[in-house]
Amino acid sequence: MEDHTKLIESLFEKVTDYGKTTFELGKLKAVDKTSDIVSSFVPHSAVFVLIASGLLFLNLGIAFWLGEILGKTFYGFFVVAGFYCVTGIVVHFFMHNWIKKIVRNYMIKLLLK
pLDDT of 112 reads 75
pLDDT of 69 reads 95
**What single-letter amino acid sits at 100?**
K
- Give 41-91 pLDDT, tens digit per residue: 888 888 999 999 999 999 999 999 999 999 999 999 999 999 999 999 998
Domain boundaries, the chain: 2-112
Whole-prediction pTM: 0.60
| DSSP per-residue string spanning 23-68 | HHHHHHHHHHHHHHHHHHHHHHHHHHHHHHHHHHHHHHHHHHHHHH
Q: Is the pLDDT higher at 12 or at 21?
A: 21
Percent of the chain with pLDDT over 90: 44
